[in-house]
Chain A
Amino acid sequence: MEKHIVQGRDTASAGVIGRPLDRSDGPQKVRGLATYGHEHVPERRPAHGYILGAGIARGVLTAIDTAAAEAAPGVIHVMTHRNAPAQPAFGGPTVPEVPQVFTRPRPVLAGDTVHYHDQPVALVVAESFEEARAAAGLIRCTYRREPGSFSLHGGLANAYRPERANAGMATDSVIGDLDAAMASAAVTLDSTYETAFGSHNPLEPHAAVAEWQGDRLTLYTATQTLANVRAGLAATLRIPADNIRVISPFIGGGFGAKLIVHAETVLAALAARAIGRPVKVALTRQQMFANAGHRPAMVQRMRIAAGRDGRLTGFGHDVIASTARIEEFAEQAAATGRALYAAPNRRTTHRLVRLDTHRGEWMRAPGEAPGLIAIECAMDELAEKLGLDPVELRVLNEPARDPERSVPFSTRNLVACLREGAKRFGWDDLPRRPGSRREGRKLIGYGMAAAIRANYLGATSVRVSLDARGMVSVQTDMTDIGTGTYTILGQVAAERLGVPVSAIRVELGDSDLPRSAGSGGSWGATSTATALHNACAALRNKLLTAARDHERSPLRGLDLGAARLERAALIVNRRSEPLSRLVAAIAPGGLSAEGSAQRGETYTAFSQHAYGAHFAEVSVDLDTGEPRLRRMLGVFAAGKLLNSKTARSQMIGGMIWGVGAALTEETVLDPRHGHFVNHDLGDYHVPCHVDVPNVEAVFLDEHDDKANPFGAKGIGELGNCGASAAVANAVYNATGIRVRSLPITLDKLLPGLPVA
């Protein structure tokens, strides 16, 4: 089996954590040597599967005629609900325990009921992808259509209260009396914001290559979290998880769309077993829209009460979001504000409207990304009502402790981000009066918003080994989804073991390796780095003990209490023993140790978040209403950085996501047919380069000693928290038109633009 190892190239070791090293996997990627899910070559020649999706969104598949497909050239097998192997029932829309959402069985082709448009109804397996696809086109399906619900607005009156929100968050929070605060406040704001369905659209589509050896399955795939795929697949196939090996060394983006097992993976495994040959299945770009998650659409009501001085007396956030009838997903948008601003009277709620779509999934910054659109646009509106600078309004309402949990913050530098951002952006000199700045036929406007994102840690183990040549290997089933995991783990090991980065080989994405929490919730880097830190400490102990005790050790019997690992050597007093020589003498087979990370006391005793402030400048064409970003600055405080280059890339990427959600990105659900209409990258408008000129991200120095030994916090999702609101507020400042339904497309601005 091919080994996927990424070796560092830098010679630095001491002080290398945080340095802007280039990505160590870069050369492999640009030379096409990094093997992605669908590209893996199994031991035997694989067959290709193509999924046929349902042409209706709700009803029954009353007949399916596969004769022509079965007779088509190259076809090996056609699987439908009639001949698919038995799988456990999916179960109800919710699971008893939060983590079970990641591990529950996800049967495919399990019956004749159609729950959502493009739900798989057949898998055609053929010698080539083209033959499978062409044969799928020959299958004739007959449906009995049932009326479905495809409109969030249509269901608002029947919204229900979920048991809990995503990640186990409380559905509601009530402190004090918001209604009373609203009734008695000098200034109030009550406005409603709408956010659209969104689609992750990682560049690499979901794909799986399944190969069985007896009752053991090897699965090459593209996933953020190997353990989830393994558990979900084991439950679906009813085999022990230990019988499944998942391999996913390189991933072309995930953004939360690759956290759980999806249809292509289940079908590849089922089909490979059925035909006794490896099978490759990938979702097409179009199929990803229905089958691999989306961000729910939301209607969010903000109620804020304030005194004349701008201090909030009430903060209310009521979210109604779409969910799927088949499986609940309650994106925690209303949880966002629970730690953001001080206010004695508070109320946050989540309600859901059942639609006949597939389930929503965790899309980059679930909760915060849509939640901050409502909160931070509302704060902008309130600032105007109060005649206050929006930056000052936020500073005024800075809480001393977590306003709902009443625990201290671990570190909180929101105010510093606001101040630094305002200074760098030149905020204080900019016009606050809406619609007051013109350049030729463009209206120019400026907006800002705060960012907050919860800091998580997930249980993770890492093994680190040192061999007799002085080479270090770092092993875990963690993933690098394009974020820089390979690189930062090399930096951490180099610094902790005193060897150059170029002596570190990192091996990820193989479930035979120690289990990690994977890439999700922005916790991957810090959880894995912490486990690696502990593994390095354990390895160091082993090394020192052996160096002191081993009969062939040149350092035998010395007091190694003050020993240091530096320049690839163990240094004690004035003696320097190269690691390679030392290990060769005392452990010719090498030394290895494991370390782990788990949530400790500080995890709950403190309110842990990363913060930031976004500032945006936009233009709106006076004639056509086209809104375009001109420049954007984000200032962030997220603890210590593990690599300032990959960190900056994360922030810029996140900010661009925010621009997309503000101006261009919307997945359109057809209200009659229940399908996502614009299901490709031609019609789903991700910002292109000219849409995002001049996006800059800056970090403040911060060290969070409550978070982990590095003082680092998660950053993968911070960039798109608040970014959309800053852009939306800038559009308002440019035009004086407050669009409360995002994305802000030109048709929403046209009616309000001046005639001349």
Chain B
Amino acid sequence: MQPFTYERATGLREAAAAVAGRPDAKFISGGTNLIDLMKLGIERPGHLVDISRLPLAGIADAADGGLTIGAQVRNSDLAADMRVRRRYPVLAQALLAGASGQLRNKATTAGNLLQRTRCPYFYNPAMACNKREPGSGCSALGGFERSLGILGTSEHCAAVHPSDMAVAMAALDARIETTGPDGGTRSLALGELHRLPGETPAIETALAPGEMITAVTLPPPPSGRQLYRKVRDRASYAFALVSVAVVVEGDAAGIRSARLAFGGIAPKPWRARAAEAALTAGPAGEAGWRAAADAELAGARQGAQIDFKHELLRRTLRHALTETTRPG
């Protein structure tokens, strides 16, 4: 069998060093993504560093009024936290829209951010895939494209990042805290964590070898109303075709501030800056909302199988804005 060794991490720095020390080593948290991929031979780590028992499972109030979420906090615990439910409802909604109850009980905050794409060709070792085997080609493009992205893709890979949680976090301006093998720490914006595929779709994040996510920090809750809307082929237990996270202040007269992030359409949780700008600058009401979506979709990938995502995104955004700007 594909042999691998396993160790239980004893500390943050030790864990980071253990992974940095071997090119074929990987962290394992809940294992809900990594183990599936190992069974299919898509991930073939030679060494696993189990970080699930590290003391990173707490949710703490930050001095600035925000929240610090440990990397090991389970998706179900995060969704149930009263501070999250009251102050960051978009995040609780996104978490509960993902996977299933059983999976959320195992899945962790960092593991969720770093889960890999669900592109069905990536999942099939018989198919060429630039993400799985750099340079082998992309068999999804030109094939069954329904799950592929329309923004931020490249001709080498158009797979999307599947997380719901990360989309809400993108709208909330979350930051990622990490520890490196030398014990050094750094903080980066969530938007800097995932890389676009470009010519190197196998390189998915900005993390250095062995760099471990220790926490996600949320700034104080932005004012305005929040909503997560996930659109999918069945009512539960399916990945997003399109999802929209909004944090909005405004009403029928116009939108004063907006933070928007989209899921299911891009290789990373997609913070929609162009749409945000258009929304606050443009006319009030549905015409303005549509123009905002169009601003984001300018240059989006087209094709017979994916064009519906353009209109779906416009309409889902309209729904979310209608709900969040409704009087009362």
Q: Which of B3, B121, B144, B311 has the most CB of A within 10 A?
A: B144
A431 CA / B233 CA spacing, docked (Å): 27
- Scan residues 54-80 of chain A and give those whose CB is less than 8 A from a CB of chain B: 55, 73-74
A137 CA / B242 CA spacing, docked (Å): 35
Which among B142, B144, B319 is the interface contact of A624 at CB below 8 angstroms?
B319
- Report if B231 contacts A (CB, 8 A): yes
**Beta-carbon contact of A682 and B235 below 8 Å:** no
**Beta-carbon contact of B1 and A746 below 8 Å:** no
**Beta-carbon contact of B118 and A685 below 8 Å:** no
Q: List the B side residues contacting A705 at CB < 8 Å.
A: none
Q: List the A side residues contacting B183 at CB < 8 Å.
A: none
**Beta-carbon contact of B233 and A745 below 8 Å:** yes
Q: List the B side residues contacting A628 at CB < 8 Å.
A: 235
A747 CA / B134 CA spacing, docked (Å): 32
- Report if A584 contacts B (CB, 8 A): no
Interface residues on B, range: 35 or more
| With A624-B316, A747-B308 as contacts: A691 and B235 at CB distance below 8 Å | yes
| With A624-B319, A685-B233, A750-B308 as contacts: A134 and B126 at CB distance below 8 Å | no
- Report if A133 contacts B (CB, 8 A): yes
**Beta-carbon contact of B2 and A624 below 8 Å:** no
- Report if B136 contacts A (CB, 8 A): no
Main secondary structure of the interface of B (DSSP, over half): loop
Q: List the A side residues contacting B241 at CB < 8 Å.
A: 746
**Beta-carbon contact of B143 and A672 below 8 Å:** yes
- Report if B86 contacts A (CB, 8 A): no
- A 667-707 to B, binary, CB cutoff 8 A, 1 in contact else 0: 01011110101111011010111110000000000000000
A680 CA / B237 CA spacing, docked (Å): 13
- Report if B312 contacts A (CB, 8 A): yes
Which among A73, A678, A691, A745 is the interface contact of B120 at CB below 8 angstroms?
A678
| With A682-B118, A746-B231 as contacts: A73 and B236 at CB distance below 8 Å | no
**Beta-carbon contact of B286 and A664 below 8 Å:** no
**Beta-carbon contact of A134 and B312 below 8 Å:** no
| With A74-B1, A130-B1, A746-B231 as contacts: A689 and B142 at CB distance below 8 Å | no
Q: List the A side residues contacting B147 at CB < 8 Å.
A: 683
- Report if A183 contacts B (CB, 8 A): no
Q: List the B side residues contacting A117 at CB < 8 Å.
A: 126
A664 CA / B238 CA spacing, docked (Å): 11
- A 91-128 to B, binary, CB cutoff 8 A, 1 in contact else 0: 00000000000000000000000000110000000001
Q: List the B side residues contacting A670 at CB < 8 Å.
A: 143-144
Number of interface residues of A (CB under 8 A): 46
A137 CA / B147 CA spacing, docked (Å): 27
Which among B236, B312, B318 is the interface contact of A625 at CB below 8 angstroms?
B312
| With A53-B126, A73-B1, A756-B286 as contacts: A746 and B233 at CB distance below 8 Å | yes
- Smallest CB gap from B41: residue in A: A137
A74 CA / B241 CA spacing, docked (Å): 43
A628 CA / B2 CA spacing, docked (Å): 43
Q: List the A side residues contacting B237 at CB < 8 Å.
A: 688
- Report if B195 contacts A (CB, 8 A): no
A279 CA / B286 CA spacing, docked (Å): 65
Q: List the A side residues contacting B115 at CB < 8 Å.
A: none
**Beta-carbon contact of A137 and B316 below 8 Å:** no
- Report if A623 contacts B (CB, 8 A): yes
**Beta-carbon contact of A624 and B315 below 8 Å:** yes
- Report if B127 contacts A (CB, 8 A): yes
A313 CA / B80 CA spacing, docked (Å): 63
Q: List the A side residues contacting B280 at CB < 8 Å.
A: none
CB of A131 to closest CB in B, whole Å: 5
| With A134-B1, A670-B143, A746-B241 as contacts: A690 and B311 at CB distance below 8 Å | no
Extra contacts besides A670-B144, A691-B235, A750-B315 (12): CB < 8 Å: A118-B126, A128-B1, A131-B1, A133-B1, A673-B127, A675-B126, A677-B143, A679-B120, A683-B120, A685-B238, A690-B236, A747-B312
Q: List 28 A-B contacts (CB under 8 A).
A: A117-B126, A128-B1, A130-B1, A131-B1, A134-B41, A441-B319, A623-B315, A624-B229, A624-B242, A624-B316, A624-B319, A625-B312, A626-B231, A664-B233, A672-B142, A673-B127, A673-B139, A677-B144, A679-B124, A680-B123, A683-B147, A688-B236, A746-B231, A746-B241, A750-B308, A750-B311, A750-B312, A756-B286
List residues of B whose CB falls within 8 A of some A CB.
1-3, 41, 118, 120-121, 123-127, 139, 142-144, 147, 229, 231-238, 241-242, 286, 308, 311-312, 315-316, 318-319
List residues of A whose CB falls within 8 A of some B CB.
53, 55, 73-74, 117-118, 128, 130-131, 133-135, 137, 286, 441, 623-626, 628, 663-664, 668, 670-673, 675, 677-680, 682-683, 685, 687-691, 745-747, 750-751, 756
